[in-house]
A and B are shown apart, each in its own frame.
Chain A
Amino acid sequence: MRTENQKAWFFVLPVLALVAFNALVPMMTVVNYSVQETFGNNQFFWEGLGWFEQILRSDRFQAALGRQFLFTALILMIEVPLGIIVALSMPRKGFWVPVCLVLMALPMLIPWNVVGSMWNIFTLPKIGLLGYFLNDVLGINYDMTQQPLSAWITIVVMDVWHWTSLVVLLCYAGLVSIPDAYYQAAKIDGASPWSVFRYIQLPKMKTVLTIAVLLRFMDSFNIYTEPFVLTGGGPGNSTTLLSIDLVKIALGQFDLGPAAAMSLIYFAITLLVSWVFYTLMTKDDAQ
């Protein structure tokens, strides 16, 4: 007879309690706020689904959502291939392995707001090293405080600098786990470097790559601190991503109802895209 030990469930209980308090309770509160209006003082008035209607039809929300999708698409298109290339070119043995790993891990150790401030000082046109170099040495007209395009390039490059390492480290872990026998077999068959990558390395990296893409999608889709510190959503509204707009509505205007409705829509989008990604990328394994 098979006996089962159910003791493990008790060890999970503290985590469940923690999740209940830091995720479920706020989540339920947001749902409650999204159908009511408040002027503070914990007085609430029923509003129904009106906020959802208003948010979904507002140009401001649609524009912020568009910018958010553009940002995330750029991030994924740059960071995932770049991460794979860097991981492939890193050494697998010897003295340089720990050096490379530490160098790769460094950007990720820096807190988000510090990254924002660093890049702000680095790229300011008159006093920043990069800003000064581009404007006064190379003669390129670059000013991320005035030009939307410069601001966009800056936030994308900043995110690539900060988070490509994550993709690199995950892919590297996948690459290291491939046994030498695979490469020897490929060599005997006279496989080209592309075939080695396509039929050995990529399939072996698939699991970690799934995690990397998911993490990068969720993080870049929910990004707030770095662009907020760097550009504050400007110039104008050009880098006002969804989360920045959300905080403006919730804390700047104290419109808790519309902000709650907007965060639920935001949550639904994140959830759907993550689920689709995950389902598509794990679908072949199940077959």
Chain B
Amino acid sequence: MRKLLLSLSLLAPSSALAQAKAGWGNVGQEEPKGFSWTDPLWPDFWMAWTPATLAVFVGIFSAIALIGVLEVVKFRDGIERRGVLGLSTTLGDRLFITLLGSAYIFLAWLGLVGQPVWTPLFLSIGWGVFVFWKV
């Protein structure tokens, strides 16, 4: 019994010393979190931005800017043309039709089929290509 107590009293500090020597590694540390598209970008901010939604708006605004630059620099006054739908459209009109049509493709898919939305994504890209090419 005495022996046991003695060995225990020796054992406890030695294990603590060993642990201290080895270091605590990542115990008790916050794990470094990887980038996530869906986490809040600025926590507690009321606009609730996430990288995903920010990317959507950056995409839309850069498309508008690109069209604007193209209309000013390359195609003066927007090169109106009449397409297969019988509408006279400029580049900006075609972007609008593409975006609005894509919104409806996604909504229709979500309402009728559901997630995931890969198929409507490809449908929308196809729709955009068709609009810029033919409409």
Contact = CB atoms under 8 A, between A and B. Distances in A.
A53 B117 CA distance: 11
Interface centre among A25, A32, A38, A46 (most CB of B within 10 A): A32
A272 B88 contact: no
Contacts of B75: none
A169 to B, nearest CB: 30
A129 interface: no
Contact of A46 (B38, B87, B96, B115): B38
Nearest to B56: A31
A271 B47 contact: no
A265 B38 CA distance: 22
B130 interface: no
B81 to A, nearest CB: 11
A57 B113 CA distance: 10
Contacts of B114: 53
Interface string A14-32: 0000000000010011011
A29 B50 contact: no
Contacts of A32: 47-50, 53
Interface string B91-115: 0000010001001101100110011
Interface string A52-78: 110011000000000000000000000
Contacts of A272: 100, 104
A283 B44 CA distance: 48
Contacts of B56: 31
Given A49-B115, A56-B110, A56-B111, A271 B50 contact: no
Nearest to A271: B100
Contacts of A43: 43-44
Nearest to A32: B48
A31 B53 contact: yes
A50 B52 CA distance: 15
A179 to B, nearest CB: 29
A268 B104 contact: yes
B100 A50 contact: no
B77 interface: no
A41 B113 CA distance: 34
B76 to A, nearest CB: 12
Contact of A56 (B49, B107, B117): B107
B40 interface: yes
A46 B45 contact: no
Interface string B61-79: 0000000000000000000
A42 interface: yes
Contacts of A286: 88
A48 B110 contact: no
Contacts of B100: 268, 271-272, 275
A29 B48 CA distance: 7
28 contacts: A28-B47, A31-B53, A31-B56, A32-B47, A32-B49, A32-B50, A32-B53, A35-B52, A35-B53, A38-B48, A42-B44, A42-B48, A44-B40, A44-B48, A46-B39, A48-B115, A49-B115, A49-B117, A52-B106, A52-B111, A53-B111, A53-B115, A56-B107, A57-B111, A268-B100, A268-B104, A271-B100, A283-B87
Given A25-B47, A52-B111, A53-B111, 8 more contacts: A29-B46, A31-B57, A35-B53, A42-B48, A46-B50, A49-B110, A52-B106, A268-B103
Interface of B: 38-40, 43-50, 52-53, 56-57, 86-88, 96, 100, 103-104, 106-107, 110-111, 114-115, 117
State the 7 A-B residue pairs at the shortest beta-carbon distance, nearest first. A56-B111, A46-B38, A32-B48, A44-B48, A286-B88, A52-B110, A53-B110
